[in-house]
Structure 1
Amino acid sequence: MFKGSSITVHDVNPEAQVANHGLLKYPHRLNFYDIPPTFDVTIEEFETCGLDRLRILAEIESSAARNRTAEELKDVTLKQNNKYLPLNMSKGSNGETDGERRRDHLSHFVLRLAFCRSEDLRRRFVKAETTLFKVRYDTDLGPERASFLSSRNFNWIPVESEEQKRFSQELAAAYQGNRTETGRPEKEKYYKVKWTRVPDLVERRKVFLKGGWAYVPSRELSSIIFQEFEDHLQKALEMTARLLPRLDEDTRLVPILDNLSQGFLAGISAEWTSAADAGNAENIKAEQIDGIAKKHFPLCMRTLHENLLRDHHLKHFGRLQYGLFLKVLGVSIEEAIVFWRKSFSLMTDDKFNKEYKYNIRHSYGLEGKRANYAAKSCMQILTPGPSDHGCPYRNYSPENLQTALLSTYSQQGLRAADLPEIMASVKTQHYHVACTRVFELTHSSFGVGRGEGISGENVTHPNEYAARSMELARPKDEEMVTE
């Protein structure tokens, strides 16, 4: 329900309306998100919180697609979490604990609305959210985690000492556990749950099964907790999906949810809006663009550049996408006009001035409503459209893409043996992961290793790719000039 420029957030699960979490403090850092937020928030906060959480979840999914180890995944997730949705411990907090947990609470339910609308989105959301919960659980302080666990009923049954003694050999065979200095197994407390609640432990043969019950050692109780979180979220998403049409949605809300649901496609990044952001204090001259393109551009912009050289022309949306990219990269309006005029060499000056010069000035905010247009991000480029200005990783056939990659980047170190890994990411629609891997392979001579990408994250913006590439090459270029 909207109130002016704000929105009151409610879950669509009526059973969850039994309490008003907006009037309560947040006693725990961990959260099963049973109770929806019912406080007023502005539309801006609604969208910002959703985007911040999506940045974390998108990086989690990208890490899984890149087969990062469990420790690498944990490190990346913690880094993203601390950057976008920090959650301090209650003990020794900086006084902002409740506000941080409020944003975490709100952001989860914003994305729950966005990702409940298809089975694939629900599956991906549950997987990423469960990973985020696991990382937070593993890094939570012991006493705070124990307090959270005692606040919930996980329906596990403590195994009595007599029963534990009766099955001691079977329990010892199923779970080795830690051992004392004498080599004997440490005493372990066991709990019984239905075996279907711990499929991961059953698969790894780490529990004793008897009569449909799984005997779970206390050290492995986290498996029950994680499975409970996943099942609970899956059911909540399905109920939200069934009841979503009942919501009286404002037309301002639907585009936000649509934009968020597209976020997994290319990750989410901050807008790359100025040449200063790109790390280029100096202006790029028109005659430098071709050389820079061949060394530093991502495949989407390299393709546009090559098409422009070949045809001496680009269609409207191709010109818009490439022109804004060059603008943000550091090409001034004067140099842009020189570059485009030279590129459109088959037409007369009169035709160029009448039909194209105005649009170039418009994109720089010098005509029309004089807006400062941002360059297109990967998510915007990945929106389905004509192949001449879209994402090659998405639009090209596998054969054409491999040919384009080798012809474009072979001189920068890309080999045919690298293609299967890149194409595997393309096949699973992780296009930004494929582009990131190309960046790593073509910049290995600058010390960029596997999994490092753009400052440790995935490519989510063409200007980000080009700016980082130019930044890496700058010390080497300066060294050559000095010599």
Structure 2
Amino acid sequence: MEFKTNRDLRLSQTIGSINNPKRLANDGEYCINFYTSPPMGKISLEDAEDMVTERLNLLSICDEMLKGLEKSSTFRRNKMYFETLESRLLNAESKFDKNFYYLSTKGLNGKKDPEARKRDITSHWLLRLYYCQTDELKKWFISRECELLRVRLMDPSLTPILPEILAQNGFNYEKIEESEKKSFLEKISWNLLSVTKESVIYKIRFEESLEAVRSRKVFLNNGFAYILVQDMVSVICSKFRSQLSHALALSKLYLHELEEEQRLIPRLHSLHLHVIDNRKSNVKSEDDSGREVVTPQMIDPLSKESFPPCMQNIHEILRKEHHLRHYGRLHYGLFLKGIGLSLEDALDFFRQEFTKKLTPDKFQKEYSYNIRYNYGKEGKRIIGKAYSCQKIINDNPPATGDSHGCPFKHFDNNNLKIFLRKQHIDENNISEMLEMVEKDQNYSMACSKYFSCKHQWYPNINVYHPNQYYTESRKAFHVSTLTPPQSGQTNGDISMIDSNKIESIDESIFDAEDDFDRSVGAMDLDLSVTEPFENNDSTQ
């Protein structure tokens, strides 16, 4: 018992105070976390891995955006930067229905979803155990966590409750008295700072506000900086950075007490390699012709970021049902081929998914032939072309059990609304798209509107092909992470910058009906489906 008590004491020094329920209750009550107290309770290793993977996906997006800051001297944390970062974080991959960043951001009046709070806090504390080990890992972790905090603090809806959040988390900044505020109003023009009589102004030491001073968002007087609460982001992030750095140093000091070198630490290391290192290596790989190469490991995150609705729907059904009927396989297989998935990787990708229901031998006999056929390796050896929007809309409409088709054309209003809400499209834009579909029957225009909602920082486009949608989306994310414009630069300028760095899409993949289509039409459409399938075009 004595040993257990001493070990608990050392663990409390390693990960923080575990005997202060008031602090634990406050930490994470709102969508802003400073992780001052560790989580309590038990979780399985499987749940721990899922939570850690979810957080690493968010941190990897912050990593890509910060790399853009490093690569361009003109890259600034401007409005477009934060809009891009938030959009990508909201759509980040998660094994759960929605990632914890989305749930915390969309919480009511800044309050967090309890499940999101648990995943957020637990994943942060688990990752501390891994990233405390070396200075390089600590530096990476601290900067990415600070960026995640920074984008949360940029939410204007937090301004009214930010003083309460700061007070609850031990940020003991002094608010100036009303009499002192009145004297400032008399002596200084606060117009540039948008101050009002109701504004909360903090008085902090000059050395704690250097970044705010640099951006000229403070008034200096007698060694103190006077800052509006909405301009406290840099000050808060600076203090959080200092606290986290100190906490990681303590974690490293007592890490051996946890005795996790053979169990938890190797798992965390494996997840880091799988999520962070793999994402880095897969961000921009190219084949001999200079075209981007896509691997099976990249498909899930790419589907959330850059797949058009028709292909995203097929991908979600594949992941859910582990099977696609003939036209679903045909449309999706040719699309994946068009974005750069090799034949070998395509076989591996579909084999891995289909064999969750079928035997490998059955997959080899009944499905691999069609995949090789798409790549011109079987039959007449004609290389297949990905289908255009017009062909997907007008040819071979989906029947019960099919997954192909255009959601804007073939979904009813209820299922279309469910699908769009699942992609985080707001109600006003959903209404606009439904009007385009119902009144004008302009399905391509609705898809173009969908593209604009998902890539708000990028010029509008007219969507006419799934692979064109994908290519423009990758250009948009390339612009947002590598070469964003300076303030005042127009959307046209963005397109010009990007066109110099990214090759144009191969227009040959947009060819209409050809010998390949006629050959496919002569094939037996579904050799393997013997059991009935429900209509999977509903996203419910």
TM-score (norm: length of structure 2):
0.49
> Matches of 1:17 and 1:150 in 2, distance apart?
20
Q: Which runs of 5+ in 1 are unaligned?
A: 1-8, 180-184, 306-320, 341-441, 458-468
User: Deviation string for 1:400-457 (max 9, x for gaps)?
Assistant: xxxxxxxxxxxxxxxxxxxxxxxxxxxxxxxxxxxxxxxxxx9557662455569x99
Match of 2:87 among 72, 75, 88: 75
Match runs of 1:431-470 below 5 Å: 444=468, 448-450=472-474, 452=476
Match of 1:178 among 194, 200, 217: 194
Q: Paired residues, what number?
A: 330
- Quote the offset at 1:202 in angstroms: 1.4
Secondary structure of the structure 1 residue equivalent to 2:35: coil
| Alpha-carbon separation, structure 1, partners of 2:222 and 2:259 | 49
Q: Please give the per-residue CA displacement for 1:100-121, whole angstroms capped at 9, x wherever unaligned.
A: 3122211111122222222232
Matched, 1:214 2:214: no
Partner of 2:88, secondary structure, is helix
Aligned counterpart, 1:260: 271
SS class of match (2:220): strand
**Is the partner of 1:208 in helix, strand or coil?**
strand
Identify if the C-alpha distance between structure 1 residues 255 and 187 changes in structure 2 by more than 3 Å, giving closer, same or farther. Answer: closer
Which of 321, 333, 343 is the aligned partner of 2:364?
A: 333
1:157 to 155, 164, 174: 174
Give me the whole-angstrom Cα distance separating, in 2, the residues matched to 1:479 and 1:187: 72
Q: 1: distance between equivalents of 2:16 and 2:353?
A: 52
Offset of residue 473 of structure 1: 5.6
Structure 1 residues 122 and 222: alpha-carbon distance in aligned structure 2, compared to 1, 3 A threshold: same
The answer to whether residue 132 in structure 2 is matched with residue 89 in structure 1 is: no
Task: Check conservation: 2:159, 2:230, Cα contact below 8 A.
Answer: no
Aligned partner of 1:36 in structure 2 is 38
For 1:164 and 1:22, locate their aligned partners in 2 and report how far apart those are by CA, in whole Å.
Answer: 32
* Alpha-carbon contact 2:142-2:244 (below 8 Å) kept: yes
Map 1:225-236 → 2, pairs under 5 A? 225-236=236-247
Asked if the contact 1:122–1:237 (Cα under 8 Å) also holds between the matched residues in 2, the reply is: yes
Using the TM superposition, give the Cα deviation of residue 36 of structure 1 relative to its aligned residue in structure 2, in angstroms: 0.8
Amino acid at match of 2:52: G
- Alpha-carbon contact 1:115-1:122 (below 8 Å) kept: yes
Query: Are residue 103 (structure 1) and residue 123 (structure 2) matched?
Result: no
Q: How far apart are the structure 1 equivalents of 2:369 and 2:323?
A: 22
Identity %, equivalent residues: 21
Choose from 48, 51, 55 the match for 1:49. Answer: 51
Provide the secondary structure at the position in 2 that maps to 1:83.
coil
1:257 deviates by 1.1
Aligned to 1:324: 348
2:204 is paired with a residue whose SS is strand
> CA separation of 1:189/1:50 partners in 2, compared to 1, >3 Å: closer, same or farther?
closer
Distance 1:220 1:445, change over 3 A: closer
- For 1:100, the aligned partner's letter is A
**1:139 to 1:234, Cα distance in 2 relative to 1, 3 A:** farther
Taking structure 1 as the reference length, the TM-score comes to 0.53
Matched, 1:248 2:259: yes
Does the aligned pair in 1 maintain the 2:14–2:254 contact within 8 Å? yes
| Amino acid across the alignment from 1:41 | I
Alignment partners' CA distance in 2, 1:119 and 1:219: 32
Q: Is the 8 A contact 1:28 1:90 kept in 2?
A: no
* Per-residue Cα deviation, 1:248-288 (whole angstroms, up to 9, x for no partner): 11623122111233232234875999994499644999xxx
CA drift of 1:323 comes to: 6.4
Partners of 1:51 and 1:260 within 8 A in 2: yes
What do the CA deviations read for 1:299-335 (whole angstroms, capped 9, x no partner)?
xx58xx7xxxxxxxxxxxxxxx786357459894248
Q: Label 1:447 to 1:131 Cα distance change in 2 as closer, same or farther (>3 A).
A: same
1:31 shift after superposition: 1.9
Instruction: Using CA pairs under 8 Å that are at least 6 residues apart, name the structure with larger relative contact order, 1 or 2.
Output: 2
**Residue 98 of structure 2: SS of its match in structure 1?**
helix
